[in-house]
Amino acid sequence: MDAIRIRGGKKLSGTIHVSGAKNAALPILCATLLSDGESLLRNVPALRDIETTSALLRFLGRSVSSSPPTVKVDAGSQVRPEAPYELVKQMRASVMVLGPLLARFGRAKVSLPGGCQIGSRPVDQHLKGLEKLGATIKLERGYIIASAPRLRGDEVVFDMPTVTGTENLMMAAALAKGRTRLVNAAREPEIEELARVLNKMGASVTGAGTDVMEIEGRDELAPFDHAIVADRIEAGTYMVAAAAAGGDVLLENAPLEDMESTCAALKTMGVEIGREGTAARIRRTGPIKPIRLTTEPHPGFPTDMQAQLMVLATLAEGTSTIKETIFENRFMHVPELARMGADIEAEGNHAIVRGPSRLQGAQVMATDLRASASLVIAGLVAEGETEVLRVYHLDRGYEHMERKLAAVGADTERIKGTGG
């Protein structure tokens, strides 16, 4: 497994290009199952999760030619509506083929995704919603066995906002008979992006981005050509990197309109963020200030930015508090940051971060996607050398992170295949 080696202490300056959004591309790739013909996705990031989803679509019978930033998906001659454990276990978001397969082919056998490092990650809301649209669902030997001659529109009320749960139901409803109303729907920008694609395909989705959505189902949908929106979490991650290391970085096509809570938190901590056309300029010249932060569903502060912001808090002059309300175990970066000298006390879903700490370089272990990013950021400011092991976690959601950072002056390099 590869590692990334960082020698800390360099300020960042220059331009970073923000890639297409992983969490928009994944549901949109699943939406290609809803129609025949060839769909074209542009501005797709070169990530492991994209490769995994392409492999799953091929397994289902689609022909996929994936050369990021372009991915073409064509309906094959036959379909095998089964998503096996060996593919689903690599990426939980694979469960998003369930809605499209059920709506289009009337049956689906999809492995239960199981938990991951950050939590148990149940899919009960997905299943309850599909049953409300008329599906018969059984759980057998770790698989979801679903069937429905034809889904029919109805009202689905989610117990909590779930991003992929909302996306699964949007795709199922787009081919259901009649109108579906999703209440307590997730409001993330990726939901609005999927709605734009479903509307291009011929469905009628209104209310995306609010907590109530209405979807007029169709008998048939058309393939689409769509350029994926920029990744707000990747952009936020590089904003934190620039703030932590100091310097002056221009983020090309940063989706600032989707990043209000992230920008507000960074400005509270003394980071300057200015819009320059479609780019954002990030500077941090003064001291970093502490923050009281709680993660929330969009438009609140995103859980996917929590680990990154915690690194910045270790450098702040004062005490910060961070509350993680979305996942039950999303502080795995804490013990690794503590090994680098951070002063963090985590109790349940609360963390108290006392700063400023002088971080020292160390060998650290990546665990989940965003925790890995926070360890790289810590390495940028630590004294000496940091080696982040098991960066396959990072490669799931960040396109060549070490190259993008090196291009703005960081001393980062990828070490091929070092155990660990």
The rounded distance, in Å, linking the Cα atoms of 369 and 304 is 9
Instruction: Identify the active-site residue in 46, 116, 338, 415.
Output: 116
Q: Does 123 bind ligand EPZ (CB under 6 A)?
A: yes
Q: Does 58 bind ligand EPZ (CB under 6 A)?
A: no
Q: Per-residue string for binding with ligand EPZ, 61-100, x by CB under 6 A?
A: --------------------------------x-------
Q: Does 300 bind ligand EPZ (CB under 6 A)?
A: no
Q: How far is CA 71 from CA 64, 79, 89, 293, 315, in A?
A: 7, 19, 23, 38, 41
Smallest distance from the beta carbon of 260 to ligand EPZ, in angstroms? 16
Smallest distance from the beta carbon of 293 to ligand EPZ, in angstroms? 15
Q: Does 19 bind ligand EPZ (CB under 6 A)?
A: no
The rounded distance, in Å, linking the Cα atoms of 238 and 251 is 8
- Determine the residue type at 145: I
Nearest to 19 by CA among 399, 414, 401, 403: 399
Closer residue to ligand EPZ in complex, CB, 324/387: 324
DSSP tag of 69: T
30 catalytic per annotation: no
Q: Does 183 bind ligand EPZ (CB under 6 A)?
A: no
Instruction: Please identify which residue in 32, 35, 111, 164 interacts with ligand EPZ, judged by CB under 6 A.
Output: 164
Q: Does 303 bind ligand EPZ (CB under 6 A)?
A: yes
Q: Which stretch binds ligand EPZ (CB under 6 A): 157-165, 171-179, 266-274, 343-351?
A: 157-165
Task: For the beta carbon of residue 13, count every other beta carbon within 10 angstroms.
Answer: 15
Q: Does 124 bind ligand EPZ (CB under 6 A)?
A: yes
SS3 6: strand
Q: How far is CA 217 from CA 133, 407, 408, in A?
A: 11, 47, 47
Instruction: Please identify which residue in 327, 373, 377, 405 interacts with ligand EPZ, judged by CB under 6 A.
Output: 327
Smallest distance from the beta carbon of 296 to ligand EPZ, in angstroms? 10
End-to-end Cα separation, the chain, in angstroms? 7
Scan for tokens 């919603």, then name that residue: 129
Q: Find out whether 319 and 353 touch, Cβ atoms under 8 Å.
A: yes
Smallest distance from the beta carbon of 124 to ligand EPZ, in angstroms? 5
Nearest to 88 by CA among 63, 61, 59, 130: 59
Q: Find out whether 198 and 171 touch, Cβ atoms under 8 Å.
A: yes
Q: Does 48 bind ligand EPZ (CB under 6 A)?
A: no
Site for ligand EPZ in 357-386 (CB under 6 A): 369-370
Smallest distance from the beta carbon of 297 to ligand EPZ, in angstroms? 7
Q: Does 326 bind ligand EPZ (CB under 6 A)?
A: yes
**Whether residue 69 has a cis bond before it, omega within 30° of 0:** yes
Site for ligand EPZ in 222-261 (CB under 6 A): none
Q: Which stretch binds ligand EPZ (CB under 6 A): 82-90, 120-128, 138-146, 333-341?
A: 120-128
Smallest distance from the beta carbon of 92 to ligand EPZ, in angstroms? 6
Instruction: Please identify which residue in 282, 397, 398, 408 interacts with ligand EPZ, judged by CB under 6 A.
Output: 397
Q: How far is CA 211 from CA 23, 35, 173, 299, 412, in A?
A: 19, 27, 16, 11, 42
**C-alpha 290: how far from chain center:** 26
Q: How far is CA 158 from CA 169, 183, 186, in A?
A: 10, 6, 9
Task: For the beta carbon of residue 55, count every other beta carbon within 10 angstroms.
Answer: 17
Q: Does 30 bind ligand EPZ (CB under 6 A)?
A: no
Residues labelled as active-site residues: 116
Residues that bind ligand EPZ (CB under 6 A): 23, 26, 93, 119, 121-126, 160, 162-165, 186, 303-304, 326-327, 369-370, 397
